[in-house]
């Protein structure tokens, strides 16, 4: 659920760039990423439906369009407003890095359906990571203005990243069963991946900022607004056919 | 008005093993690496693709068969440094006027010291085929995707379904509604 919610909320934020990205090509690239993420979320929601004995066709829509903010389990990182282009790129880069590492581990999960899904999603996420990594380097090393914006974005975003690696309730059982990777191990692998890349782009990680470690049921004021928009049509006409 | 866009890159796509790279359009990008990624995002959302090339448009010498009839075409090409060593050039050709052959395809390679010489060689070597448009550019101008990129850049597109608008019931529904309004 946490994986799926991260993807769907971030996809919505990224889709807000459709028609507004700095250039047409990037507009298409980010809309692609947003669509890929929706696709990944559907895979996870469908897997949940199967585990819970729900209808795999309707359950994902049910979860996405008819759950209140308190029912969402996404990290606060992904619900923050899209900000400027630097903010979007830094957030996406840090998130993609976490995803590729997590998925790499999930590919070896003892739970077969999870391993298969991870195998498939990993390929696309690797490309997302490559794309945002390229952008981080160019904006970090670009002009004084682009560097300033990137550093400011990083300072704002960094504290929120901790929540991506906070253990979920009962996750220890799954870790012990080798179903999912240990979040602490993932966190340090992630730091080893992103910090050198950021430094290469002349960006400095502030260590003093207090990390956000709230449980995933706690949200910022931005999530209700986002959901109000995302769910509006579905809630007005619950049984509409498409 | 000044051009505020990034430089233009021509995009070539190879769809299947054994097929030539075919020009599919162009993208703007600040550098070749991003151009290659943009090419993927703009042209390979749908399958199939095995390989992509991007080439800065400014590196391409392009001439139509019409322009080549006039023997003075070479004079219109800016001079390149005289000391240039011979190097491989890629040759592309638009082979027919059919709609499906709107763009040039890659037909081969020649060795030349500059673009004019490359085009002359190309005309000698490939001139038997009818060419409506000719492009030559140095091989070093090409940035290519690598075979190991296929998995993350191109394969995922195979599983994405493109849905035309008539896939959705809404179209039929709207027609009904409109009919109802007219009567």
- Which among A132, A115, A151 is positioned nearest to A37, based on CA atoms? A132
With contacts defined as CB-CB under 8 Å, which chain B residues touch A39?
160
- Residue A72, classed as helix, strand or coil, is coil
Residues in chain A: 242
pLDDT at B4 over 80: no
Cβ pair A67, A41 in contact under 8 A: no
Q: Give the distance from residue B134's alpha carbon to the nearest chain A alpha carbon, in angstroms.
A: 27
- What are the domain boundaries of chain B? 8-179
Among B10, B33, B38, B172, the residue to mutate for chain A (most A Cβ within 10 A): B38
Q: Among partner residues A25, A126, A242, which is closest to B38 by beta-carbon distance? A: A25
What residues have CB less than 8 Å from A175, skipping those under 6 apart? A181, A182, A183
Chain A residues closer than 8 Å to B156 by CB: 36, 123-124, 127
pTM of the model as a whole: 0.80
Residues on chain A touching B37 (C-beta within 8 angstroms): 29, 130-131, 134
Residue B91, min C-alpha distance to chain A (Å): 27
What ipTM did this prediction achieve? Answer: 0.74
Task: Give the per-residue pLDDT at A111.
Answer: 84
Share of chain B residues as helix, strand and coil, in percent rounded to the nearest 5: 40, 25, 35
Chain B residue set in contact with A, beta carbons under 8 Å: 5-6, 27-31, 33-34, 37-38, 40-42, 45, 151-153, 155-156, 159-160, 168-170, 173
Of A117, A111, A97, A132, the closest CA to residue A44 belongs to: A117
pLDDT above 80: residue B33: yes
Residue A99 with chain B: CB contacts under 8 Å = none
Chain B CB contacts of A124 below 8 Å: 152, 156
Contact A134 B30 (CB under 8 A): no
CATH topology of domain A2-236: Ferritin (1.20.1260)
- Mean pLDDT in consecutive groups of 10 residues from the start of chain A, 242 residues: 72 70 77 82 84 82 80 84 88 92 89 87 88 91 91 91 84 79 89 92 82 82 83 75 59
Residues B125 and B110 sit within 8 Å (Cβ to Cβ): yes
Per-domain boundaries in chain A: 2-236
pLDDT of A154 reads 93
Nearest chain A residue to B6 by CA: give it: A23
Task: Give the DSSP letter of residue A237.
Answer: S
Query: Which A residues in the span 128-157 are in contact with B, Cβ-Cβ below 8 Å?
Result: 130-131, 134, 138
């Amino acid at each position: 659920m946490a994986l799926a919610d991260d993807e769907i909320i971030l996809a919505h934020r990224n889709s807000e760039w459709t028609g507004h990205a700095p250039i047409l090509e990037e507009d298409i690239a980010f809309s692609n990423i947003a669509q890929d993420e929706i696709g990944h979320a559907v895979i996870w929601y469908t897997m949940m439906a199967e585990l819970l004995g729900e209808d795999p066709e309707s359950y994902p829509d049910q979860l996405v369009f008819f759950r209140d903010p308190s029912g969402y389990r996404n990290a606060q990182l992904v619900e923050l407003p899209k900000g400027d282009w630097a903010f979007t790129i830094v957030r996406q880069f840090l998130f993609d890095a976490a995803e590729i590492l997590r998925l790499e581990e999930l590919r070896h999960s003892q739970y077969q359906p999870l391993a298969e899904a991870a195998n498939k999603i990993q390929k696309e996420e690797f490309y997302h990571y490559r794309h945002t990594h390229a952008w981080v380097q160019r904006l970090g090393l670009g002009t004084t203005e682009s560097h300033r914006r990137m550093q400011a974005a990083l300072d704002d975003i960094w504290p929120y990243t901790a929540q991506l690696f906070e253990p979920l309730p009962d996750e220890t059982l799954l870790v012990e069963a080798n179903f999912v990777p240990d979040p602490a191990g993932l966190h340090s692998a992630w730091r080893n991946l992103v910090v050198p890349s950021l430094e290469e782009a002349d960006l400095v990680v502030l260590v003093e900022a207090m990390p956000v470690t709230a449980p995933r049921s706690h949200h910022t004021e931005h999530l209700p607004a986002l959901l109000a928009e995302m769910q509006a049509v579905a809630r007005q006409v619950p049984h509409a056919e498409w | 008005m000044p051009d505020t866009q990034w430089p233009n890159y021509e995009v070539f796509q190879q769809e299947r093993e054994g097929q030539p790279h075919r020009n599919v359009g162009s993208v703007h990008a600040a550098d070749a690496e991003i151009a290659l990624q943009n090419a993927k995002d703009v042209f390979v959302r749908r399958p199939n693709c095995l390989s992509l090339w991007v080439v800065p448009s400014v590196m391409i010498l392009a001439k139509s068969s019409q322009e080549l009839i006039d023997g003075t075409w070479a004079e219109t090409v800016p001079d390149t440094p005289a000391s240039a060593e011979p190097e491989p050039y890629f040759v592309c050709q638009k082979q027919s006027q059919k709609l499906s052959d709107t763009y040039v395809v890659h037909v081969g390679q020649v060795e030349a010291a500059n673009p004019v010489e490359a085009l002359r060689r190309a005309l000698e070597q490939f001139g038997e085929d009818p060419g409506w448009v000719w492009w030559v550019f140095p091989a070093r101008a090409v940035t290519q995707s690598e075979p190991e990129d296929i998995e993350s850049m191109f394969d995922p597109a195979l599983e994405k379904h493109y849905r035309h608008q008539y896939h959705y019931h809404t179209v039929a529904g709207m027609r009904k509604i409109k009919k109802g309004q007219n009567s």
